Amino acid sequence: MSSNNIHILQPSLGHISRDAIKVVEEEAGDTGALNLPDESVTTIAKCGSTLELHIPDGGFSAVPFLEKSLRLYDPRSGDDDGDMAMDESGLYDGLSATQTREARGKVCEDIPVSAAQCETGWLELCAFVDGNQEISCWRPSARMRLSVWKRLVEGALLQGIDLEKQFLVGDLWKSVLDDDASAPPFPRALLEALVRRLCAEDQRPALSDDIKWACFDKEECTRWVGEICLAATAPTASSAVGRSEFLQLWKDCLPESWRGNAILSKLPEGSYQSPDPTTMFFVDASQRKHISKAPAAGAAAAKTKAKTTRNWHELLKNSKR
């Protein structure tokens, strides 16, 4: 925000006569002549308005921009490119870490937030890069994320992998593969994106680093699974689901020892609405209303005080008149 008038100056590209512009006198020489600079100002613009940056509720986020830029990955809806040829490691046609980083950077370079915010948004969406026919960046649908999670839990159970303790991501990937299938059920990069999203924060590697080891945060996983389950099952008011039915679906998506944590209070505030006392549907993060905990009267007083503080220059201007 600026409370002062803003002047925009443009230096001349060549010589300009003194009569053509007004030059501020610095000092007169011994002969009384003005000391003119070699370059002169040829354009002066003035803006007397007050500019103020508007910060949305919850701060700035790259998620809305990424949702528009990334392709939606949902095989059952026909939004994928069919079978993706991979080698035994799950890499697409030899896609290197450098190619992955460059593809991600190309998507983020035109998004008007910081690199850290882009990385956070990428992580939140479980976005990934593949190079099947061409290098593409994807964001999996809620239904696809839930499907990967279910497959991951089943594989971990069969292979005896404790998701709350450190495990090799490579072992988890092998646990989701079908021995008799000609191709993996989904890209390995998608599984790694989901694992990175659910990692305990102190053990989560940067997007530029490979993820070899992981350890899930039980509380974060439970909350995330609840959100994704509701988003996949009841994304709109017309598809609202019964509360008891949803809670049962949520519990069925969790490891046995986590089922007791599946309660509505674990969901983020504003993440769902209820058309009636028995049903509910998902509310996207961009549509959630952040309600201030401060009393309405206190908020109004603070707003009035802030406005008075910001307009001090107008008070001075009025006093000069």
Could you give the 3-state DSSP secondary structure of residue 242? strand
Q: Distance between CA 172 and CA 202 in Å, rounded?
A: 20
Percent of the chain surpassing pLDDT 70: 69
8 A C-beta contact, residue 161 and residue 152: no
Q: Poorest-confidence range of 4-13, 242-251, 261-270?
A: 4-13
Nearest CA-CA partner of 246 in 260, 236, 231: 231
**Whether pLDDT at 291 is above 50:** no
With tokens 């206190």, the residue in question is: 298
Both tokens of 287, joined, read: 């549509």
Stronger pLDDT, 90 or 223, i.e. the higher one: 223
Higher confidence at residue 85 or residue 259? 259
| Among 90, 110, 114, CA closest to 100 | 90
pLDDT score of 84 more than 60: no
What letter would DSSP give residue 51? Answer: B
For the segment 41-62, the average pLDDT, to the nearest whole number, is 72
User: Which range, of 142-146, 209-213, 256-260, 311-315, averages the lowest pLDDT?
Assistant: 311-315
Task: Give the lowest-confidence range in 132-141, 217-226, 265-274.
Answer: 132-141
What percent of the chain has pLDDT above 90? 54
pLDDT in tens, 18-45: 555 555 545 555 555 555 555 666 666 7
Q: Residue 321: pLDDT above 90?
A: no
CA gap 108, 125 in Å, rounded:
14
In one-letter notation, the amino acid at residue 165 is K
For 148-217, give the DSSP string: HHHHHHHHHHHHT--TTS-EEHHHHHHHH--TT-SS-SS-HHHHHHHHHHHB-GGGPPPTTS---EE-B-
> Using alpha carbons only, how large is the chain's radius of gyration in Å?
29
The pLDDT of residue 297 is: 44
Report the chain's mean pLDDT, rounded to a whole number: 80
Burial degree of 40 (CB within 10 A; 0-12, 13-18, 19+): middle
How many CA atoms lie within 13 Å of 151's alpha carbon, on the beta-carbon side? 22
Which is more confident, 292 or 272?
Answer: 272
* pLDDT for 275: 94
- 85-141 confidence digits (pLDDT tens): 343 344 444 578 899 999 999 999 989 999 999 999 999 999 999 876 688 999 999
What is the predicted pLDDT for the residue at 295? 43
Q: Mean pLDDT over residues 283-303, rounded?
A: 59
Residue 173 has pLDDT above 90, yes or no: yes
pLDDT tens digits, one per residue of 150-163:
999 999 999 999 99
Cα(170)–Cα(201) distance, integer angstroms: 20
Inform me whether the pLDDT recorded for 12 exceeds 80.
Answer: no
CA nearest 44: which of 20, 8, 5? 8
Contact 281, 234 (CB under 8 A): yes
287 or 292, which is more confident: 287
Q: Report, as an integer, the average pLDDT of 314-318.
A: 54
